[in-house]
Amino acid sequence: MNNEPKIHPWQKVLDNPWLLLVLGVLIPILSYTAWGWVELLLTKPALLP
Amino acid sequence: MCGTTGLSVCLDAQRFIKLNAVCGIVFLLLGGVAALLLALTRWQTVHLLPVDWFYRLLTFHGINMLILWILFFEVAILTFTCTTPLNARLFSRKIAWASFGMMLTGAVMVDYIILAGQADVMMTSYLPLLAHPLFYLGIILVAVGTLIGVFNFFATLYVAKRDRAYEGSLPIVTFGALAAAIIAVVTLLHGAVVMIPTFTYAMGWTAQPDPAWYRLIWWGLGHQSQQVNVCAMVAVWYLLSHITVGARPINEAVCRTAFVLYVLFINLASAHHLLVDPGVGAAWKIWNTSYAMYLAVLASMVHGFTVPAGVELAMREKGYTRGIFGWVTALPWKNPAFSGTALSLVIFGFLGGITGVTLGTQQINIIAHNTLRIPGHFHVTVVGGTTLAFMALAYYVIPLIFQRDFICRGVARVQPWLFGFGIVLLAFGMSFAGTMGVPRRSWDIDAQGVYGPAAHLWLGVLGIGGILAFTGLLLFALLCVGTLFFGPKIEGRAMADWGTPPALAGSQPGSLANDHYATKGTIVLTLTFLACFAVYYFANWKALADVWPVR
């Protein structure tokens, strides 16, 4: 019989600094940096009048 | 073993907390002197500095206040939170020395080259403005040094868990510091990515990086470093509300979830600096500054509720139950750590939060971008919020770490009020002058001949606020330095009490743990906040509509 108290899955996420580190680096880099960088790369140079 | 708290203290950690905190305060004072001179220049009637020194000191002020003071003090906070609350040793003394040495060398290099007139590029150093290569190298050293310090933090957490130095979850203050450290990793990576090619360009080794790319990546450093502050500041709120009043988070899972929302989404706020840039599209702008950002704003509102709610609960459990706000009058307002925390929360939430969300809205931003409204916003978040919270922390950290009680305790009790009032006045001056179109980063507005007496009046308010805030900052620095040299030694006894509200007869700790209406005072304050938010937000939409009147 296992008497260990059950830990809520969200609590396991909160107690895992390495998972938070990976998500915390990945999401901003994808959402802000990579997406913004791609948009800049796709911007065509303006034509001079 | 600490004579006051009874906690085990790692002596290596203590040394690096001291070194980083003292350096942070020195850079704060340097940046503060520049702030006073800048405020007296923007006060158009005084107009103190010549044009070259205005931009030189604007660069110096930004770097010292937003990068150096904050990063040094945050490394001190990270070093404290990963050792003492966890009963753990610092992972590596050598790594800590390497981190501190690189940061200090870089910081001195940057400050020297700015004051030598070789880097009048302002804090953002937007290309094609070009500074001396040592400016970029100095920032790289500070960023990499801080990254190494953050690595030491994570390694200490790993070893503490492996060696079972603590059981269960991290204490909330350490969890908040963990969130700050994760954001710091993203921040410092962006710093290295943008500064290394700019340094090689300044050396003449490579071509100029694209200015639009530079702005995108630079703001991954420039604004995200302020989000590290936000996390550290909130962690300090939880710590000091516990130390000064005995408050505890009313729901640990909700508070931690709010920190996770910061980790995942607050970095995206950087995008609002690019809201008028043509290179990135509307979808990128709106997603990053609105939809995702609102999740981080939700986190701030959660903390803005749970910290005062925890304080109210603790006070009511101590027997201060009269009316809705009876507990407020019994709070230890003369304790500088408490008053600093409370002022930080109110200034950050009411003034900084409301203005930040409004200015970050793409449509509204168009009437505020590059006006003094923007510095008006971030002076109440970074200075009125973070700096004041860090000052409040010093009133406990210095006696505990340096084992000396504060000198001039009466002056210390006034200091947070003076500093907070000065910053609010300064921010009001900036915000209202900005509303009248006064630009930021401008040495002179008279030459344009379009600003009337009202704008000049608000610039005068800015100047007076700057003088008061600088006086508060100077008092803080003098109190800290004076305490290090002349403070009465503690030597084994407990530090002198700044004042905490005693429990009244018949009160019982934990008696209101399941009472969902025990925080009614905080609920009223929260509704007041939301009403202010709505009024300010809609007033700005009205101002935007007035730009294109349809008759």
CA distance B73 to B549: 49
- How many helical (H) and strand (E) elements, i.e. helices and strands, does chain A have? 3, 0
Residue of B nearest to A8 (CA): B253
Total beta-carbon pairs less than 8 A apart between chain A and chain B: 86
**Is B178 in contact with A10 (Cβ distance < 8 A)?**
no
CA distance B493 to B3: 6
Residues 155-214 in B contacting A (C-alpha not used; CB under 8 Å): 157, 169-170, 175, 178-179, 182-183, 185-186, 189-190, 210, 212-213
Residues 253-312 in B contacting A (C-alpha not used; CB under 8 Å): 253, 256-257, 260, 263-265, 267-268, 270-271, 274, 278-281, 284, 287-288, 292
**Is A11 in contact with B224 (Cβ distance < 8 A)?**
no
Q: Which chain B residues are closer than 8 Å to A24 by Cβ?
A: 179, 182-183, 185-186, 263-264
| Partners of B489 in beta bridges | B404
Of A14, A21, A33, the CB nearest to B182: A21
Of A10, A17, A25, the CB nearest to B186: A25
pLDDT by residue (tens digit) across B391-441? 999 999 889 888 899 999 999 999 999 999 999 999 999 999 999 999 999
**Is B263 in contact with A39 (Cβ distance < 8 A)?**
no
**Is B170 in contact with A29 (Cβ distance < 8 A)?**
no
Cα distances (Å, whole numbers) of residue A13 to A18, A29, B78, B354 = 9, 21, 21, 31
Tell me the two tokens of residue B501: 């509200």
pLDDT by residue (tens digit) across B500-528? 999 988 888 777 777 778 899 999 999 99
Of A8, A10, A24, the CB nearest to B186: A24
**Is B216 in contact with A40 (Cβ distance < 8 A)?**
yes
Of A15, A25, A39, the CB nearest to B281: A39
Give B148's contacts (C-beta < 8 A, 6+ positions apart). Answer: B95, B98, B99, B102
What confidence score (pLDDT) does residue B245 get?
Answer: 94
**Is A29 in contact with B186 (Cβ distance < 8 A)?**
yes
Helix axes B69-81, B11-42, angle to 10 degrees: 150
Of B170, B182, B284, the CB nearest to A35: B284
Tell me the two tokens of residue B67: 């990068």
What confidence score (pLDDT) does residue B379 get?
Answer: 95
Q: Which chain A residues are closer than 8 Å to B280 by Cβ?
A: 36, 39-40
Q: Confidence band (pLDDT; 50, 70, 90) for A1?
A: low
Please tell me the distance in Å from A47's CA to the nearest CA on chain B: 14
Of A8, A24, A29, the CB nearest to B183: A24
- Helices within B210-251 (DSSP H only): 211-222, 224-245
pLDDT 10s per residue in chain B (551 long)? Answer: 666 666 667 778 889 999 999 999 899 999 999 999 999 999 999 999 999 999 999 999 999 998 898 899 889 999 999 998 888 899 999 999 999 999 999 999 999 999 999 999 999 999 999 999 999 999 999 999 999 999 999 999 999 999 888 888 899 999 999 999 999 999 989 998 999 999 999 999 999 999 999 999 999 988 888 888 889 899 999 999 999 999 988 888 999 999 999 999 887 778 889 988 888 999 999 888 877 778 888 999 999 999 999 999 999 999 999 999 999 999 999 999 999 999 999 999 989 999 998 998 888 988 998 999 999 999 999 999 999 999 999 999 889 888 899 999 999 999 999 999 999 999 999 999 999 999 999 999 888 778 889 999 999 999 999 999 999 999 999 999 999 999 999 877 888 889 899 998 888 877 777 777 889 999 999 999 999 999 999 999 999 998 887 76
Residues 4-43 in A contacting B (C-alpha not used; CB under 8 Å): 8, 10-11, 13-15, 17, 20-21, 23-25, 27-29, 31-33, 35-37, 39-40, 43
**Is A14 in contact with B178 (Cβ distance < 8 A)?**
no
**Is B260 in contact with A43 (Cβ distance < 8 A)?**
no
Please tell me the distance in Å from A45's CA to the nearest CA on chain B: 10
- Helices within B280-439 (DSSP H only): 282-286, 292-317, 326-329, 336-346, 354-359, 362-365, 373-378, 388-402, 409-435
Longest pairwise C-alpha distance within chain B: 76
Closest CA to B7 of B72, B78, B81: B81
Q: Which ipTM value was assigned to this complex?
A: 0.92
Please say whether the beta carbons of B261 and B299 come within 8 A.
yes
Put simply, whether B445 touches A (Cβ < 8 Å) is no
Please tell me the distance in Å from A1's CA to the nearest CA on chain B: 22
The number of angstroms, rounded, from the C-alpha of B511 to the middle of its chain's C-alpha atoms is: 35
Which string of DSSP letters, residue by residue, matches B137-197? HHHHHHHHHHHHHHHHHHHHHHHHHHTTSS-SSPPHHHHHHHHHHHHHHHHHHHHHHHHHH
**Is A32 in contact with B271 (Cβ distance < 8 A)?**
yes
The number of angstroms, rounded, from the C-alpha of B434 to the middle of its chain's C-alpha atoms is: 22
**Is A27 in contact with B224 (Cβ distance < 8 A)?**
no
**Is A40 in contact with B292 (Cβ distance < 8 A)?**
no
Q: Note if the bond before B133 is cis, omega within 30 degrees.
A: no
Which domains are delineated in chain B? 11-495 (1.20.210.10)
Closest CA to B19 of B109, B114, B98: B98
Of A17, A25, A31, the CB nearest to B268: A31
